[in-house]
């Protein structure tokens, strides 16, 4: 309170001081009047001593006022600054002044008037009174009428800035009298009509002309005579004519964009009358230019900003980069470029923006080592191959990039999904190549040449020794193979179709000649394997080699030539994809690699049948391990076939003791690995891959007892051809949203639910349905566990076999994660990435 009173007293004192000290009708008085009435009080008693005001020697007259950006608002009052008869400079820019006083027009010696960035719209008809005006800036106000003819009196005017108003009609003839003009800026108004006759010859000193953003109808001859022009901007008007006639000797900046210029560009001779060495900024975009701009480019240009986008050039080759070493901005969007993007583009050390969108560029995306690159648009071309990790690594640091609509492949794990989808959209090869992140890193680092050579030599020696050893050891076995195989080879010359039967299905491979149907093995493209080899590997898809009958179809086991141990999955259910589409999907799946995924080794399209070939998982599926058989044995395996005698021993490889599976650390490891695999599919691939069928029987253990998730991406191979029932998931694993009427399709969160069920199985050792759930005969695994977790009795569900192999708290913690995963509402479930984080926090010692 006290302070408030004190404050008012201070203001009053200041006010009185001002009034007391200043004689009425002096310049200082008028300035004080102005400030007080505009509501500005905080200024010195003697305004002449203020740095914003300059007075003449005897402090009688104010000659300069600079009240820029002082927050002044409203109309300027009469009998204030309008009365400063000797004022030369008035700067009121950046305020909120709305009107000029009626006595404003009597400054007879004003040289500089800056009213820019206010809200003034008063008539300028008296502007002719300012015969000494040299600088006049009225930009960014509310003027909406004609530029007054009276401007003709401003014969000393050097700088005229009327930009960003709404001035209409044509530029007045009077302007031709302002022959001292050095700079004219009338941009962003609503001027129309033509330029006054004689415009090109009226301004012998004109260096800068900006008429951009109007509707001025012009001809080349209106501007081609401006002999001293250095910067010309007529962007966004209705100029037409042959563009080359605009090029003037002195030009440094030329913006002719968004007009109707024509011209066949081969007229450009880089050594003719125009001296290109001055030009640093050239924008010819959005015109109707034709020909080939770079055809005759045979001298080094100093251009920094070059935009030729959106014209009608005919086929042109990429410009010679070495002729344009200064480039900072290069926009050749929609300019009919053909051929490759030269690698030399990396040498443009100042390049900041590169737009090559909508052309016919082919070949690869160069490395783009340009340090300052912020904007990159390569969309809508015909580029192919893999975008290098080097380029991808830089993207997150860039302002804008777009690779959409090409035939590119890419491997990016760290880029946000939404961005990735927008900027890599529509590539013909839109499948993810998701690589193991650690491999990815390793590839990006440089090898020491010497080291590499040593390693290679060593590897070669080992390889040789290995081959010799194998040749020796396998001799007997191969002989056995040969006998068996040759018999099949003979049979296979019989033409198809081939028909095979299992307990639950019959499937037909409608092929004419088994040896003419290729099998693609990704890592070994030179092995020419055919359907005939699949026949021999599986003894004609004999039931004895049947590993399982999955819901997509039967899975067989066999050795392909070269000793590749595989599981062969026949996708019997009808697919709506064409052979090519299915092959492409399978190619894509083949690129997806992660230590916790069962790798797709290859595939075969045999008639209607798509056959996926996986690495064989020596230690079977989680389903077998939990409920059926001791480690290493597989449920449907028939061990009686003599052909597989040696492989038989392989079957229980590395199994260790059966006890391993009945420890908490091992089960936790399986859960974590499965979570990692799903997190990778959901978050590391673009577009994200939804597994759709996570269950204990999709989780396998490899030779090293690492958990690996199988069957990812298979649903896509079927297009829309999947049975309703299959889409809906397996019993006990069906998320509640699937039975909602508004349910459309599975999401990553439905995988999360299924993962939750697998997690419960790992901890309880019970099946998802039809098991014995104490206290609750009607229950499913999910309802039983969730009920007890809710009642805080989670420890009761823990599998007695693992109870003493780890701390209860860890298992209960894991149950809580399962509880979160199995929430009814998908939105309440955590993401797989979060789950990996949570699970890692549990971290039993053995993991
Ligand atoms: C007015 O002052 C501002 C800084 O406060 C300065 O930028 C501007 O150039 C001055 N105007 C004139 C006309 O000197
Ligand atoms: C007018 O003032 C503004 C803001 O201070 C400044 O940006 C502009 O350059 C000035 N105009 C001229 C012609 O000096
Ligand atoms: C210029 O625009 C005004 C309205 O903004 C219109 O009345 C006038 O006819 C136009 N002049 C020409 C030459 O297009
Ligand atoms: C020409 O003027 C337009 C509109 O004001 C502006 O966007 C463009 O950057 C200007 N060109 C140059 C070279 O300054
Ligand atoms: C172009 O201008 C540069 C720099 O002013 C000068 O060195 C050069 O000789 C000129 N070239 C021609 C062909 O006039
Ligand atoms: C560039 O080509 C033109 C004709 O196309 C020729 O007259 C000129 O001498 C050449 N200049 C250089 C530097 O080679
Ligand atoms: C390239 O020029 C076109 C046409 O003027 C424009 O639409 C586009 O935004 C420009 N690209 C960049 C990156 O500036
Ligand atoms: C892209 O290139 C391929 C050959 O590499 C060609 O068949 C195809 O027509 C090209 N597409 C376009 C749109 O230029
Ligand atoms: C896409 O690129 C691949 C090679 O990377 C090529 O085999 C295929 O023909 C290309 N597709 C088109 C439509 O150009
Ligand atoms: C990328 O380019 C395509 C085609 O030119 C366009 O449709 C898409 O919106 C662009 N994406 C972004 C993020 O700019």
Its CATH class, for the domain covering 642-847, is mainly alpha
CA-nearest residue, atom 6 of ligand 1: 68
* Start-to-end CA span in the chain (Å): 69
Query: Is the distance from the beta carbon of residue 112 to the nearest atom of ligand 1 less than 6 Å?
Result: yes
Take residue 311 and report the two structure tokens written for it.
């014209």
Per-residue pLDDT for 273 more than 70?
no
Among 358, 378, 403, 404, say which to mutate for ligand 10: greatest number of ligand atoms within 8 Å of CB: 404
SS3 662: helix
List active site positions.
693
Q: Residue 266's pLDDT is what?
A: 57
pLDDT of residue 826: 92
Q: Do domains 315-432 and 642-847 have the same CATH topology?
A: no
Residue 779's pLDDT band, with cuts at 50, 70 and 90, is confident
Burial of 215 (0-12, 13-18, 19+ CB in 10 A): middle
Inter-CA distances, 5 with 8, 14, 564, 761, Å: 5, 14, 94, 77
- Percent of the chain's residues with pLDDT above 70: 81
Please write the tens of the pLDDT for every residue from 545-600: 888 887 778 899 988 887 788 999 988 766 777 888 888 888 888 888 888 999 89
- Nearest CA, atom 9, ligand 9: 407
DSSP state of 625: I
* Arithmetic mean of pLDDT, 34-45: 89
Measured between alpha carbons, how far is 805 from 591 in angstroms, rounded to an integer? 38
- pLDDT band for position 130 (cuts 50, 70, 90): very high
Residue 692 CA to residue 727 CA, distance in Å, equals 8
Reduce the DSSP state of residue 282 to 3 states and report it. Answer: strand
Whether the per-residue pLDDT at 388 is higher than 70: the answer is yes
- 3-state secondary structure at position 481: helix
- pLDDT score recorded for residue 514: 85
Q: Residue 534 in 3-state DSSP?
A: helix
State pLDDT tens for residues 455-484: 444 445 445 554 444 444 444 443 333 333
Indicate if the pLDDT at residue 646 is higher than 50: no
Q: Average pLDDT of 329-334?
A: 96
- For residues 188-206, give the mean pLDDT: 95
Q: Could you give the CA distance from residue 410 to residue 433 in angstroms, rounded to a whole number? A: 6
Residue with CA closest to ligand 3 atom 3: 169
Res 475: pLDDT: 45
Rounded CA separation 768/206 (Å) = 85
pLDDT tens per residue, range 733-763: 999 988 888 888 888 999 999 999 999 999 9
Q: How far is CA 142 from the centre of its chain?
A: 41
Q: Is 485 helix (H, G, I), strand (E, B) or coil?
A: helix
For atom 13 of ligand 3, the residue with the nearest CA is 193
- Show Cβ contacts of residue 94 under 8 Å, excluding neighbours closer than 6 positions: 68, 69, 116, 117, 118
479-616: what CATH class? alpha beta
Q: Categorize the per-residue pLDDT at 539 as very low, low, confident or very high, splitting at 50, 70 and 90.
A: confident
Quick one: fold of 315-432?
3.80.10
Using only C-alpha atoms, the chain has a radius of gyration, in whole angstroms, of 40
668-to-35, 699, 711 alpha-carbon distances in Å: 77, 13, 22
User: How many helices and strands, by DSSP H and E, does the chain display?
Assistant: 20, 36
- Contact in structure between 639 and 820 (CB atoms under 8 Å): no
Please list the alpha-helical segments (H only) found in 636-703.
Answer: 645-650, 664-683
Ligand 3 centroid–CA 234 distance in Å is: 19
Find the mean pLDDT for residues 22-49: 87
Find where tokens 């819901």 sit. Answer: 551
Q: pLDDT tens, 706-719?
A: 999 998 877 777 76
State how far the Cα of 515 lies from the Cα of 419, in Å rounded to an integer.
45
Q: How confident is the model at residue 775 (pLDDT cuts 50, 70, 90)?
A: confident
Residues ≥6 apart with Cβ < 8 Å to 425:
404, 405
| Among the bound ligands, the one closest to the CA of 333 | 7
Total residue length of the chain: 847
Q: Please state, in angstroms and rounded to a whole number, the distance separating the CA atoms of residues 210 and 734.
A: 67
The DSSP bridge pattern shows strands 96-99 and 73-75 to be parallel
Rounded Cα distance between 677 and 693, Å, is 13
Ligand 9 pocket by Cβ (under 6 Å)? 384-385, 407, 428-429
Mean pLDDT of the chain: 81
* Peptide bond before residue 441 is cis, with ω within 30 degrees of 0: no
pLDDT band, very low/low/confident/very high, at 333 (cuts 50, 70, 90): very high
Enter the DSSP assignment of 380.
S
Which residue's entry shows tokens 């007054």?
148
What are the helix (H) ranges across 718-831? 724-727, 748-764, 781-790, 808-821
Ligand 3 pocket residue status of 193, Cβ below 6 Å? yes
451 CA from centroid of ligand 3 (Å): 77
Confidence tier at 244 by pLDDT (50, 70, 90): confident
Residue 351 CB neighbour total at 10 angstroms: 26
For the segment 813-842, the average pLDDT, to the nearest whole number, is: 89
3-state DSSP of 818-847: HHHHCCCCHHHCCCHHHHHHHHHHHCCCCC
pTM value?
0.60
What confidence tier does 119 reach under pLDDT thresholds 50, 70, 90?
very high
- What is the per-residue pLDDT for 584? 82
**H or E stretch at 452:** helix 449-473
Strand 281-283, strand 305-307: pairing:
parallel
467 to 249, 560, 801: CA distances (angstroms) = 75, 18, 45
Q: Is the pLDDT of residue 645 over 90?
A: no
Closest ligand, as measured to the CA of 186: 4
Per domain, the residue ranges of the chain are 1-107, 315-432, 479-616, 642-847
Q: Which atom of ligand 5 is nearest to the CA of 271?
A: 13
For the purposes of burial, counting CB atoms within 10 Å of the CB of 463, is it exposed (0-12), middle (13-18) or buried (19 or more)?
exposed
């Amino acid at each position: 309170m006290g302070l408030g009173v004190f404050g008012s007293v201070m203001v009053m004192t200041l006010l009185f001081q001002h009034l007391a000290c200043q004689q009425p009708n002096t310049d200082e008085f008028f300035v004080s009047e102005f400030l007080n009435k505009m509501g500005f009080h905080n200024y010195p008693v003697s305004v002449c001593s203020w740095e914003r005001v300059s007075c003449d020697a005897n402090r009688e007259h104010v000659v300069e006022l600079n009240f820029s950006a002082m927050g002044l608002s409203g109309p300027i009052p009469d009998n204030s600054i309008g009365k400063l008869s000797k004022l030369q400079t008035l700067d009121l820019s950046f305020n909120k002044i709305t009107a000029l006083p009626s006595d404003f027009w009597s400054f007879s010696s004003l040289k500089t008037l800056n009213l820019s960035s206010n809200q003034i719209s008063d008539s300028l008809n008296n502007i002719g009174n300012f015969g000494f005006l040299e600088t006049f800036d009225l930009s960014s106000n509310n003027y909406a009428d004609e530029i007054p003819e009276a401007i003709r009196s401003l014969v000393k005017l050097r700088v005229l800035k009327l930009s960003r108003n709404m001035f209409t009609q044509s530029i007045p003839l009077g302007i031709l009298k302002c022959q001292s003009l050095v700079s004219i800026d009338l941009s962003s108004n609503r001027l129309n009509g033509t330029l006054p006759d004689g415009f090109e010859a009226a301004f012998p000193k004109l260096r800068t002309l900006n008429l951009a953003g109007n509707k001025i109808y012009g001809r080349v001859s209106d501007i081609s005579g401006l002999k001293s022009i250095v910067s010309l901007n007529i962007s966004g008007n209705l100029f037409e004519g042959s563009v080359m006639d605009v090029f003037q000797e002195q030009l440094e900046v030329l913006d002719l964009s968004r007009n109707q210029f024509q011209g066949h560009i081969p007229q450009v001779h880089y050594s003719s009358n125009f001296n290109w060495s001055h030009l640093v900024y050239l924008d010819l975009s959005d015109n109707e230019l034709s020909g080939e701009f770079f055809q005759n480019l045979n001298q080094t240009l100093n251009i920094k900003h070059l935009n030729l986008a959106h014209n009608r050039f005919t086929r042109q080759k990429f410009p010679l980069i070495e002729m344009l070493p200064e480039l900072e901005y290069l926009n050749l969007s929609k300019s009919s470029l053909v051929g490759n993007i030269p690698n030399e583009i990396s040498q443009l050390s100042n390049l900041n923006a590169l737009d090559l969108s909508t052309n016919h560029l082919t070949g690869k995306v160069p490395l783009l080592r340009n340090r300052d690159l912020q904007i990159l648009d390569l969309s809508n071309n015909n580029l192919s191959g893999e975008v290098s990790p080097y380029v991808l690594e830089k993207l997150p640091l860039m302002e804008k990039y777009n690779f959409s609509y090409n035939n590119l492949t890419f491997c990016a794990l760290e880029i946000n999904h939404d961005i990735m989808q927008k900027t890599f959209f529509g590539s013909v090869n839109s499948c993810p190549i998701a690589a193991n992140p650690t491999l990815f890193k390793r590839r990006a680092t440089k090898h020491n040449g010497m080291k590499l050579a040593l390693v290679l030599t060593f590897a070669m020696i080992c390889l040789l020794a290995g081959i010799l050893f194998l040749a020796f050891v396998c001799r007997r076995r191969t002989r056995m193979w040969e006998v068996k195989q040759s018999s099949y080879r003979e049979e296979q010359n019989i033409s198809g179709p081939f028909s095979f039967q299992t307990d639950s299905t019959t499937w037909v491979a409608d092929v004419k000649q088994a040896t003419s149907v290729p099998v693609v093995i990704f890592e070994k493209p030179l092995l020419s394997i055919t359907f005939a080899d699949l026949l021999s590997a599986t003894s004609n898809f004999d039931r004895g080699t049947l590993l399982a009958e999955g819901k997509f179809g039967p899975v067989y086991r066999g050795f392909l030539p070269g000793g590749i141990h595989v599981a062969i999955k026949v996708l019997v259910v009808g697919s709506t994809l064409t052979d090519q589409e299915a092959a492409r999907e399978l190619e894509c799946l083949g690129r997806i690699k992660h230590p916790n995924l069962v790798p797709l080794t290859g595939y075969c399209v045999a008639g209607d049948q798509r056959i996926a070939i996986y690495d064989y998982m020596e230690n079977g599926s989680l389903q077998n391990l939990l409920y059926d058989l001791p480690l290493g044995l597989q449920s449907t395996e028939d061990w009686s076939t003599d052909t597989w005698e040696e492989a038989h021993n392989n079957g229980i490889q590395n199994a260790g003791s059966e006890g391993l599976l009945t420890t908490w650390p091992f089960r936790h490891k399986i859960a974590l690995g499965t979570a990692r695999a799903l997190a990778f599919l959901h978050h590391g691939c673009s577009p994200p891959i939804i597994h759709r069928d996570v269950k204990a029987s999709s989780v396998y253990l490899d030779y090293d007892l690492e958990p690996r998730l199988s069957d990812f991406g298979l649903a896509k191979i079927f297009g829309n051809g999947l049975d309703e029932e299959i889409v809906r998931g397996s019993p006990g694993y069906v998320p509640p949203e699937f039975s909602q009427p508004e349910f459309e399709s599975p999401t990553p969160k439905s995988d999360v639910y299924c993962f939750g069920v697998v997690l419960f199985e790992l901890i309880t050792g019970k099946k998802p349905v039809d098991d014995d759930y104490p206290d609750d005969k009607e229950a499913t695994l999910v309802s039983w566990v969730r009920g007890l977790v809710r009642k805080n009795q989670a420890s009761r569900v823990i599998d007695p076999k693992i109870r003493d192999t780890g701390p209860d708290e860890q298992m209960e913690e894991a149950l809580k994660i399962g509880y979160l995963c199995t929430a009814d509402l998908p939105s309440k479930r955590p993401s797989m990435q979060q789950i990996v984080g949570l699970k890692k926090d549990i971290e039993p010692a053995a993991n």
